[in-house]
Amino acid sequence: MSAPTRLAIILAAGLGTRMKSERPKVMHEIGGLSLVGHVLKAVSAASVERIAVVVGPDMPALVSEVGRRAPQASCHEQTERLGTAHAALAARPAATPVPDQVFVLFGDTPLVRPGTIERIGARLSAGADLVVLGFQAANPFGYGRLLEEGGELVAIREEKDASEVERQVAFCNSGIMGFSGARFLEILDAIGNDNANSEFYLTDAVEVARGLGLSVASETADEAEVQGINTRAQLARVEADFQARMRQQAMDDGVTLVAPETVFFSHDTVLAADVVVEPNVVFGPGVSVARDAVVRAFSHLEQARVGEGATLGPYARLRPGAEIGTGAHIGNFVEVKNATVGEGAKVNHLTYVGDARIGARSNIGAGTITCNYDGFLKHLTDIGEDVFVGSNSTLVAPITIGDGAYLAAGGTVTQNVPADALVIGRARQAVKEGRASLLKSRFRRAKEEKAKRDKEKG
């Protein structure tokens, strides 16, 4: 039996009004990824071939975000906000040709799991025409209740319409639904707007489907998974739940987190087994860390790769384009940007490495700076293998330093260095005996005179 064809409609036309934001609500981020990006990622992982996103008027940034995250997705504008069913029908063109299954999700519910979507799909494949995703609420007040009889979902009852008995029900509506593709438009087109707001609500789909004699069922998710976001406080709570999920997954995958609650992940962080992460580490987007590497405390990584057995930090910063080789050492207060650090190389203290290549086993001394920017363009510093760069060296790019070269401490190097060469780039030292006390006396008198002038000024 072939896999069912699937369409996901993601409702994302909401404004950021309650967030007091100029951005569309679903463009706010969790774990370095937009809310809608999380939902797009989930439906793609659930083998959904066709994706339609319903956007509001004048949301070019959202349309661009959808194009980046899911190039196959189409965007459909809801010109008037007349309810959730009305929004879903804005994606009507995407329902042709008719798919086997249609999922309706919300762009502000970022923690929904691919497996949950798959379970809804399995219920549809087993014969249900409509599946509503519910959750057991710790505090059901304010939620629509899912009322069941004999294994069938019979109604979604809103709080204001529920009886006292129905209000005791803790099984609540998440808003996420799955439809038989053959019945999707039939059900939504039959939803009316005979209500106080004259709007078309997806929650009426249950009553409509039952009126058509169709099979209506429910599926269950964890409450944290189906949290929606309307305020900054809710955004922060969902971020906390996302981080807890990522930390647990990392530890389940064999990563040691010394103080899990202090480590922060992005949506695409990849840590191999036997990586050790010390406290207060932040992984920005685009980071991968290979097996047996150690990321020491207070380090910050973004768009970077760390090789097997490498050591990073404490207090290290990897910026975009940093590639740290196998067994390399990046130490405290070292910043690496758009640079490759070769196998076994060491950059251990107080150093900036930008737009550079450092060859295998080279040692970069404390206080070294690659001067990569001339005010207009960036230039490459190319350091060969087995090079020793002494402390407090200034390397003015573009420059190439050959294999095995030795740069004495305190030098400013402006010309290419041949292999195996010794470079002394500092000024000649001058020693004037007996002059230190004279110099100190002069400075002391100047300090006293300044203090006297300041006192006279009041």
Give the residues across from 317 on adjacent strands: 300, 335
Distances 271 to 285, 289, 319, 335, 457 between C-alpha atoms, Å: 13, 5, 17, 21, 63
349: three-class secondary structure by DSSP:
strand
187 alpha carbon, distance to own chain's centre: 37
Q: How confident is the model at residue 85 (pLDDT cuts 50, 70, 90)?
A: very high
pLDDT digits 0-9 by tens, 403-421: 999 999 999 999 999 999 9
**How do strand 152-157 and strand 270-271 relate by DSSP bridges?**
unpaired
φ, ψ dihedrals at 255, nearest 5° = -95, 140
Beta strand spans in 56-100 (E): 74-77
pLDDT average, residue stretch 177-191? 97
Pairwise CA distance, residues 224 & 47, whole Å: 23
Pairwise CA distance, residues 48 & 401, whole Å: 52
pLDDT digits 0-9 by tens, 340-353: 999 999 999 999 99
φ, ψ dihedrals at 219, nearest 5° = -130, 155
**CATH code of the domain made up of 6-226:** 3.90.550.10
Of the candidates 171, 180, 19, 37, which has an alpha carbon nearest to the alpha carbon of residue 112?
37
Check if the beta carbon of residue 284 is closer than 8 Å to that of residue 265: no
The number of residues in the chain equals 458
CA 130, 135, 137: angle at the middle one, nearest 5? 145
- Report the catalytic residues: 349
pLDDT digits 0-9 by tens, 132-167: 999 999 999 989 999 998 878 999 998 888 899 999
Helix, strand, coil content of the chain in percent (nearest 5): 25, 30, 45
Of the candidates 271, 327, 274, 272, which has an alpha carbon nearest to the alpha carbon of residue 301?
271
What percent of the chain has pLDDT above 70? 100
Of the candidates 240, 231, 237, 288, which has an alpha carbon nearest to the alpha carbon of residue 264?
240
Of the candidates 163, 145, 164, which has an alpha carbon nearest to the alpha carbon of residue 155?
145
pLDDT digits 0-9 by tens, 212-250: 999 999 999 999 999 999 999 999 999 999 999 999 999
- Tokens read off for 366: 């404390």
Q: Please say if the pLDDT value at position 301 is more than 80.
A: yes
Q: Which CATH architecture fits 253-423?
A: 3 Solenoid (2.160)
Comparing 31-35, 50-54, 253-257, 441-445, the range with the smallest average pLDDT is 441-445
Pairwise CA distance, residues 393 & 364, whole Å: 9
Q: Please say if the pLDDT value at position 174 is more than 80.
A: yes
Check if the beta carbon of residue 110 is closer than 8 Å to that of residue 38: yes
Q: Please say if the pLDDT value at position 458 is more than 80.
A: no
Give the residues across from 148 on adjacent strands: 153
- The amino acid occupying position 64 is S
Domain ranges of the chain: 6-226, 253-423
CA 132, 62, 93: angle at the middle one, nearest 5? 55
Of the candidates 358, 428, 365, 369, which has an alpha carbon nearest to the alpha carbon of residue 396?
369
pLDDT average, residue stretch 276-293? 98
Q: Please say if the pLDDT value at position 309 is more than 90.
A: yes
Q: Please say if the pLDDT value at position 1 is more than 80.
A: no
Pairwise CA distance, residues 273 & 302, whole Å: 20
Q: What is the mean pLDDT of the chain?
A: 95
366: three-class secondary structure by DSSP:
coil
Distances 137 to 114, 140, 142, 225 between C-alpha atoms, Å: 21, 5, 10, 12
Q: What is the DSSP letter of 97?
A: S
pTM: 0.90
pLDDT at residue number 161: 87
